Structure 1
């Protein structure tokens, strides 16, 4: 089944958006402690699309290469979580987290480690929060730094499975940085996610 054939009602979309916003709140708290400054994260938009559609949507806002972190997760729901920032904003984020006005050359050298740490905090918070709310086991793999064109990072040529695409607003040290979180899942995992959301809401 393709993303175009997937039918999810607005109630489910709103529910998963709320679940992920809770996870972002936890991630913001962890990052605030890390940088000793207020960090805010929010998810203003969520949609389910194909890999190609995800690349096209992000591509309307991003013209350069992207940097990010890829982390697989398995358990009640399986898939890959991917945090993405435009290359320029990625370096700006690293500069803000390190709290140093470093030259571009030094920033680029530090980008991989800093982004991996940031991605680990954000993606783990999202996955762990879903696991806690659903009272299920979901385990994250070791995160990996990724960099390149949107098409290559999203593996558009595969165009298999469905992408849960989150637009993410990131505010730190008076800087507003816009990024994306994508969850790459097959139809079975999307169905399982829907069941867990329904069960969670039914228990409230």
Structure 2
């Protein structure tokens, strides 16, 4: 199914509400002001991800959570290796002195906040509770992570929703991406629920 610009804009507005909620939660956690914008929301096919977002052979960290229930799927929070230290410094203070496992735990916690804020915002609009499983973090090539997420489903959708997050804090900016990989038909139901 092709989506109109109006539908994508409506989706972006909802996602931005989730981004605002996430920024508030993260600000409280790190005791400093965090702004988060969602400059880009795209709905792409599986193959377009590697052409337009990230090559399949780029090594990344991904936090993966399953979405359980009527609107089933998976949500992935993806950051490049370079961004891991930057993100963990934001949460922990001095990332250079932290063990890798502590850094990854901090990234997982941040991802959990962002993912659930977006799911809650979408859930309010479509009048459904979107519940995610406990997050799991992995380090692998982008293509391998996306393929694994797809293989976890019996009926996956060819469409993927890509949300680019832009964190701003202490005159620094950091980009991360969130990927919603829905089971078949879920994305269509979400868009239809917007009434656009």
State the TM-score, normalized to the length of structure 2.
Answer: 0.88
Q: Cα offset for 1:134?
A: 2.3
CA displacement 1:63-95 (0-9 Å, x = unmatched): 841112111112342211111111111221101
Residue 177 of structure 2 aligns with which residue?
180
Task: Please tell me whether residue 192 in structure 1 is matched to residue 186 in structure 2.
Answer: no
Flag the 1:107–1:58 CA change in 2: closer, same or farther, 3 A. Answer: farther
CA RMSD in angstroms comes to 2.1
Tell me if 1:70 matches 2:67: no
- Which residue, 127, 131, 141 being the options, matches 1:139? 131
Distance 2:168 2:99 in 1: 19
**Match of 1:85, SS?**
strand
User: Offset at 1:131?
Assistant: 1.2
Question: Cα–Cα, structure 1 residues 96 and 158, in superposed 2: closer, same or farther, change >3 Å?
Answer: closer
Alignment pair present for 1:169 and 2:161: no
* Residue pair 2:39, 2:165 contacting (<8 A) in 1 also: yes
Where does the alignment leave 5 or more consecutive residues of structure 2 unmatched?
Answer: none
Q: Which aligned runs of 4 or more in structure 1 are off by greater than 3 angstroms? A: 156-160
Gaps of 5+ in 1: 1-5
Q: Is residue 50 from structure 1 mapped to residue 45 from structure 2 by the alignment?
A: yes
SS at match of 1:154: helix
1:93 aligns with 2:87: yes
Paired residues in the alignment total 191
Tell me whether 1:124 sits opposite 2:116 in the alignment: yes
Distance 1:145 1:51 in 2: 21
Q: Report what 2:17 is aligned to.
A: 22
Match of 2:96, SS? coil
Q: CA deviation at 1:142?
A: 0.9
